[in-house]
Amino acid sequence: MNRNIACALSAALMLAVAGPASAGSINILDATLTEKSPTPDISTAQMRRILSEGSAIVIDTRPHDQFDAGHIPEAHVVEGSHEQRMAAIERLLNGNKNGALVLYCNGPYCKASKRFAAELIGSGFNNVKRYQLGMPVWRALGGPIVIEAAGVARIYGYDRTAVFIDARPAADFAKGSIAGALNAPADDVASGKLKKLPFPEDDFNRHIVLFGGDGNDARKLAEFMTKRPWHNVAYYPGRYEDLAGALKQK
């Protein structure tokens, strides 16, 4: 999403919640769409708390290829027939249909989470909420994004402008990395030891893919990036060896 569009969307959401007279007193993180729905709609701030506390199972209701390309951390995707999807959700809840679920999709104009919520309610799940602001607003407000190996492979194969950042220590990077990757050790970035960051300054919308030894360094660097102007950033949550192997098959 273009940053100007993201800012405009954020402002519009604030007005939608608060109204023109009181918009200045509302934190955009507390905004929701307030649309009519059989399920409660949660804000970005609430979504952040849920992820931090692990207090709900988060479901990405988009197709699997979109999930692979970028999703909210800790989210799950389920596919198949209606019966298969309901059974998968019940397994995630350990059989407890009163367990908390949060659904999301591609933002304010996407109805996938609303349709899926209706299916869940019809199948007896009683604690369903939606983060209808979805991926565009989550990303625009600095939420970290996870990218799966299949999503990295697509970018690696087709997006020649993408930047790949290896967050491992310099000694590990020196032993070999993904072709064309740049090194930004997560600990050195966080401590301020690395003064010059290898991030593109010609276009803040370029794909930036972060990866590390086992996902921890990449997540740490991704958290740092949430407070920086680059806004098309995603991190790979797995081991470097697995990602390198997946890319070799391209």
Each residue of 59-79: pLDDT tens digit?
999 999 999 999 999 999 999
Residues 67 and 97 reside in one and the same domain: yes
Phi and psi at 59, nearest 5°, equal: -120, 125
Q: Is position 14 within any domain?
A: no
Q: Greater confidence, 146 or 15? A: 146
User: Rounded mean pLDDT of 169-198?
Assistant: 94
Integer-rounded Cα Rg, in Å, for the chain is: 19
Residues 85 and 171 reside in one and the same domain: no
CATH code of the domain covering residue 81 = 3.40.250.10
Residues 132 and 200 reside in one and the same domain: no
Residue ending a domain, choose from 119, 140, 161: 140
Residues 110 and 46 reside in one and the same domain: yes
The total of structural domains in the chain comes to 2
Give the rounded percent of residues in the chain with a pLDDT score beyond 90.
79
Quote the pTM value: 0.88
Q: Is position 95 within any domain?
A: yes
Q: Is position 19 within any domain?
A: no
Q: Is position 41 within any domain?
A: yes
Query: What is the pLDDT of the chain when averaged over all its residues?
Result: 90
Q: Which domain holds residue 159?
A: 149-248
Q: Is position 158 within any domain?
A: yes
Give the strands of the sheet with 208-211, arranged side by side.
Answer: 182-183, 163-166, 208-211, 233-235
- What is the distance between the alpha carbons of residues 149 and 95, in angstroms, rounded to a whole number? 30
Residues 119 and 205 reside in one and the same domain: no
Give the rounded distance of the alpha carbon of 156 from its chain centre.
19
Q: Is position 12 within any domain?
A: no
Q: Is position 244 within any domain?
A: yes
pLDDT digit string, tens, across residues 113-138: 999 999 999 999 999 999 999 999 99
Residues 131 and 203 reside in one and the same domain: no
Q: Is position 47 within any domain?
A: yes
